[in-house]
Structure 1
Amino acid sequence: MSAHQTDDGTKPRSPTATEGEVVENTIAAFGYEPAYRRVLGKAAGICIVIALAAPLGAIMVSGSYQIIFAGYWGLSWGWIIPNIMMIPQVIAVAELCSSMPVNGGFYWWAAALAPARSSRAFAFITGWFNALAVATSLAAFAYSIAVGMSQTMTIATDGRYVGTLAEVMGMSMGIATVWALVMLLRLETINIIMMVTAAFLFLSCLGFIIALPITHSQLNMPFTTAANVFGSFQNSSDWPQTGIAVPFCFYAVLFVNSTWTSPAYVAEETRDAAREAPRAIVESFAWTSILGLGVCLVFAFCINDLDAAINDPTGYPLFTVLTNHWGQAPTSACLIISIIFATIGGSGFLLTMSTQVAAFARDGGLPYSPVLSRVHKRTSMPMNAGLLLLGLTYLFLLLALNEDASDIVYSMASISSLIIWITPTALRLFAGDRWVPGPFYTGRYSWYIHLVAVLASSYFLITRCIPPSADTPPVNVVVVLVVLVVSIAAYFFASKNFPGLDLEALEAWRHENRHTVNGADFAQVLRQSAPERPSAEGSSRELSPGEGPSREGSRREGNSKQRDD
């Protein structure tokens, strides 16, 4: 049966309005059986991103990059510039998600946009690399929360407790285990948890932005001048070259503001995903960028002794700044509450990562794929895929025993993510008619936006491979290369039974959904992508010659059938 026909051989119906919700048919059109309950919306997508990013805590952990490599300049322009550079990538990913709203995300888009003869190779290699890469990202996020927890315990005990590398690694593994336990809850419950967590973290950022300057003023401490905050560049790192120090101060942004892709990974759980998911991507990036900028600037204006911050013995100067202003007990109380919420919110990261692994297993790309792709009926969660990622996360966290643990773990997550982001974005440039825009589309500017996105991401990728000092071996690059080599080797030795994407269904979907031609502008695309309104007699208007069918009219009516456990 063709993927774009229903069981009775008729063409799929338009999306059906059910209690105000749009039922998606895209997954069925791609040849898959819908397996997730669509309970998320744009607000949920934004909340997941904020809950994962936890801007205040994440900046306090990673802000040492900005201070050591660029001083005040790092806390101002070191946040502003990389976020501006990331905007084309955000728009490009939003377009990809709108076009093909599937949980497979980047690996799936790469396979769909690659030439047919190489689609299978792209699907398998990027799928394997993505599965291993998301484990490094999970390790990095768990490690960052563990570092915050360790620093909070140090502050609470007035320095009597200082976490060792092994203890921080153990905390990281414990945090990842908590995330796995949260996945036992229903998706609807996790949706509520993400919203509550995001609300608290959002308000905590606003509270910090207001409270720290007030305390600073009450202590009769002078504020740093704007001329210094925006104009004083001070490189105190082991790399004296400014050309290396500047991209190093960007790394905090690459780590903190990297979760904006999350709505794309839960597209199959999102209502009207072709519209709501890309909006969530763009808006969540904007919110985390603005909140992060507020946090960075407040810290910059309230740091009077930059040299003391640079030489902070803990290695996390922003924690010291907070303690000096608020005192030991209030700072400890605030941080403990924030860490609890950040830990709970981090469970959404395991959810968004496991859906990608389950999507790859659904295509037959992993050993025991039928088991790993299974979606639990009660929870609407890919629990087996989550357990696999938990084991891989434990493995990558062993690298935390290295003295340069933080840079190794964080940079692995950044490097692997950048490689995954670049792949489908670059393929989009050469996709030709394999690219079918969705409702979120920038028209004639789309190709150029993707080009700039590839160039900016390539710059981040190249500079992120530089070790933190000239004497430090590039362990992060070695680990990422090993992961890439394993992915390529797996294709040549273990992909015999891997079918890849259903290219016949994909081409049928393209034929049904092409709604733009050469020279079409954005307004034409928007008009053609809008759902058709039936007449009073229940019949749709006739299409004029040369006008493509509505994108909405090509989707199969969703159903509530779930895969059982």
Structure 2
Amino acid sequence: MAYFGKRQQLKRNFGFLSIAGFVCSLLSTWEGMFAVFLYGFQNGGPAGLVYGYIFCFIGTLCTVASLAEMSSMMPLSGGQYHWVSILAPKSHAKFLSYMTGWLTVIGWQAGQASVAFLCATLVQALVILNHPTYVPERWQATLIFYAVLAVVLFVNTYLARWLPKIEGLVLCIHILGFFGVLIPLVYLAPHGKATDVFATFVNGGGWSTDGISFFIGLITSVFSFLGADSACHMSEEIHNASTVVPWAMITTILLNGALGFALLIALLFCLGDINDALTSPTGFPFIEIFRQATNSNSAATGMTCIIVIIMFAAAIGIMATASRLLWAFARDHGVPGSAYLSRVHEPTALPLYSILVSAIISLLLALINIGSTAAFNSIVSVNVAAFFTSYMIPIVLILKKRLRRDPIKDKIHWGPWRMGPILGPIVNISGLIYSMITMFFSFWPNTQVVTPVTMNWSCVIFAAAILYSVVFYMIWGKHSYKWPIVDPIRRQQ
């Protein structure tokens, strides 16, 4: 770390198994796929979900491999924005690094609110399942959100030293829970035909072509793989990070991808009465599918609770990641209040200010849900575009270096995890194309005919975030941002 002008402030408590559990639970691929199943089924149908999942799995693997290679070279909590500062031309490095930092921070803060809200609505759904007369209210969802946030904050502060062991336990629950859902679903539910799964497309959004509908429905699979860069932002708490981080990223994508695909196929073969599932009062079709398969509310509740537990674990991991990233960016004076946000509480070796501010941001965002769930969803859905933009910028830069065979400045060497001169460009280009497609279609609404409520406002929110970042850079960041420099001697000058 001294080579990058940084000093070790956080404790390196994570090894390969614990960080793999951390990323697996944060991704929660098969669990998250259930939660957003409705979007992919409405646009794409069973066949669209299957082929879309394969497309996203390959695309994510290429994107993550590109990021993993850079994390092996520069294993720092800043992740993308730090890589950009090293890889970009000197004349543009500061601005591009700053913008990448803001996009990554926005993406993770929005993701934290999104997953906590998903936990809250899943709890409400279970109440609806077991008490049909219950009428859910938005303010109740917000209060449950706060309860989730309180638990997540408690684990990230008071139980932080146990987090690596907790994540190892969560990894076991993640894998055992997979079988706990798969076996009763496959064994008890009636099975559909192969043609219904692999040859049935649905264009529920009323789009002009099935192709457009297919790409819009990719959001189900995209959401299931979102956040693999979390390991990068935990790098300064991982032993032998230059080797462990990239392998953990790749391993978790392969493991979660396999588990997710198996459960997707099982779910599609065991749909039962799909109309009842799609119109379920719980708002989550998979809960009704569980109920039909087991013919028991209690069994469906138990199976859903497995998903809720993992989503809680995901929320814990996201807060840890979001706070470390905010802390790292503050360390380079990238955000207001950097003097406080960059502090580390010495007795615990935790960035407590960044953790608390991350919790407060989610707390404030949740208030929007009381007035309008659509407005809240529009704000937090910006994380997809923010994530993939932060991925594309460093991938473009490393690809440019590769194709031009330019040396990487500041004597940065390839890390122990490297794809090589032939495979590297192919993977980089594939990951870049996938990221561009995903980002573009993340702005589209679910239906062709929209109202102010059904419109996808994430494009407006994203544009506003970009504009704010540029203006903030020109007014304040241009003068205060101490963009990452490799040579610590030059940093002191």
What TM-score, normalized by structure 1, do the two folds share? Answer: 0.80
- The Cα shift of 1:57 comes to 3.4
Instruction: Look up the equivalent residue of 1:502 and give its one-letter code.
Output: I
8 Å Cα contact 1:57-1:148 kept in structure 2: no
Structure 2 partner of 1:82: 56
CA distance in structure 1 between the partners assigned to 2:273 and 2:7 by the alignment: 60
Among 465, 474, 477, the alignment partner of 2:459 is 477
Among 312, 316, 319, the alignment partner of 1:350 is 319
- The Cα shift of 1:245 comes to 1.0
For 1:201-242, what per-residue CA distance to the aligned partner results, in whole angstroms no more than 9, with x for missing partners?
Answer: 2211122112211112xxxx3x11122211111222243531
Instruction: Look up the equivalent residue of 1:365 and give its one-letter code.
Output: G
CA distance in structure 1 between the partners assigned to 2:377 and 2:215 by the alignment: 14
- The Cα shift of 1:413 comes to 1.8
Deviates more, 1:303-312 or 1:374-383: 303-312
> Structure 1 residues 245, 173: closer, same or farther in 2, change over 3 A?
farther
> Structure 1 residues 69, 473: closer, same or farther in 2, change over 3 A?
closer
8 Å Cα contact 1:67-1:310 kept in structure 2: no
Structure 1 partner of 2:227: 259
Please tell me whether residue 309 in structure 1 is matched to residue 277 in structure 2.
Answer: yes
Instruction: Look up the equivalent residue of 1:125 and give its one-letter code.
Output: M
> Structure 1 residues 468, 405: closer, same or farther in 2, change over 3 A?
farther
CA distance in structure 1 between the partners assigned to 2:446 and 2:376 by the alignment: 10
Structure 1 partner of 2:166: 193
8 Å Cα contact 2:14-2:164 kept in structure 1: yes
8 Å Cα contact 2:128-2:282 kept in structure 1: no
- The Cα shift of 1:56 comes to 4.2
- The Cα shift of 1:402 comes to 3.1
Among 176, 180, 185, the alignment partner of 1:212 is 185
- The Cα shift of 1:130 comes to 2.3
Please tell me whether residue 420 in structure 1 is matched to residue 390 in structure 2.
Answer: yes
Matches within 5 A, 1:79-118: 79-118=53-92
Structure 2 partner of 1:287: 255
For 1:151-194, what per-residue CA distance to the aligned partner results, in whole angstroms no more than 9, with x for missing partners?
Answer: 1111121x222422332233223322321221213543011111
8 Å Cα contact 2:204-2:447 kept in structure 1: no
CA distance in structure 2 between the partners assigned to 1:138 and 1:282 by the alignment: 22
Structure 1 partner of 2:238: 270
Please tell me whether residue 147 in structure 1 is matched to residue 121 in structure 2.
Answer: yes
CA distance in structure 1 between the partners assigned to 2:282 and 2:367 by the alignment: 22
8 Å Cα contact 1:193-1:345 kept in structure 2: no
CA distance in structure 2 between the partners assigned to 1:190 and 1:308 by the alignment: 40
- The Cα shift of 1:406 comes to 7.8
> Structure 1 residues 66, 497: closer, same or farther in 2, change over 3 A?
closer
- The Cα shift of 1:148 comes to 1.3
CA distance in structure 1 between the partners assigned to 2:120 and 2:434 by the alignment: 31
For 1:440-498, what per-residue CA distance to the aligned partner results, in whole angstroms no more than 9, with x for missing partners?
Answer: 11111212321221111001111111122231433111111111111111110012122
CA distance in structure 1 between the partners assigned to 2:379 and 2:337 by the alignment: 28
Give the SS at the match of 2:157. coil
- The Cα shift of 1:281 comes to 0.1
Deviates more, 1:398-407 or 1:138-147: 398-407
CA distance in structure 1 between the partners assigned to 2:461 and 2:182 by the alignment: 38
Instruction: Look up the equivalent residue of 1:241 and give its one-letter code.
Output: T
In structure 1, list runs of 5 or more residues that go unmatched. 1-26, 509-565
What TM-score, normalized by structure 2, do the two folds share? Answer: 0.91
For 1:349-383, what per-residue CA distance to the aligned partner results, in whole angstroms no more than 9, with x for missing partners?
Answer: 11111111111111122223232112223333211
Matches within 5 A, 1:387-536: 387-400=356-369, 401-404=371-374, 408=378, 411-431=381-401, 432-434=406-408, 436-444=413-421, 445-470=423-448, 471=450, 472-495=454-477, 496-505=479-488
- Percent identity between matched residues is 22
Compute the RMSD of aligned alpha carbons: 2.2
- The Cα shift of 1:313 comes to 4.8
Please tell me whether residue 332 in structure 1 is matched to residue 322 in structure 2.
Answer: no
8 Å Cα contact 2:43-2:203 kept in structure 1: yes
Matches within 5 A, 1:101-250: 101-157=75-131, 159-185=132-158, 187-216=160-189, 221=190, 223-250=191-218
Give the SS at the match of 1:183. helix
More helix by share: 2
- The Cα shift of 1:396 comes to 3.2
CA distance in structure 1 between the partners assigned to 2:349 and 2:139 by the alignment: 35
CA distance in structure 1 between the partners assigned to 2:133 and 2:150 by the alignment: 27
Instruction: Look up the equivalent residue of 1:70 and give its one-letter code.
Output: G
CA distance in structure 2 between the partners assigned to 1:229 and 1:503 by the alignment: 52
- The Cα shift of 1:48 comes to 0.6
CA distance in structure 2 between the partners assigned to 1:407 and 1:385 by the alignment: 24
- The Cα shift of 1:409 comes to 5.2
- The Cα shift of 1:339 comes to 2.1
Point out the structure with max Rg over C-alpha.
Answer: 1
8 Å Cα contact 1:399-1:408 kept in structure 2: no
Instruction: Look up the equivalent residue of 1:192 and give its one-letter code.
Output: K
Deviates more, 1:163-172 or 1:360-369: 163-172
CA distance in structure 1 between the partners assigned to 2:272 and 2:379 by the alignment: 31
Structure 2 partner of 1:561: none
> Structure 1 residues 433, 162: closer, same or farther in 2, change over 3 A?
farther
CA distance in structure 2 between the partners assigned to 1:169 and 1:421 by the alignment: 31
Instruction: Look up the equivalent residue of 2:460 and give its one-letter code.
Output: V
Deviates more, 1:374-383 or 1:395-404: 395-404
For 1:248-299, what per-residue CA distance to the aligned partner results, in whole angstroms no more than 9, with x for missing partners?
Answer: 2211111121132211111111111111100000000111111111111111
Q: How many residues align?
A: 476
For 1:89-145, what per-residue CA distance to the aligned partner results, in whole angstroms no more than 9, with x for missing partners?
Answer: 011011011111000011111122111222221222222232222211111111221
> Structure 1 residues 391, 101: closer, same or farther in 2, change over 3 A?
same
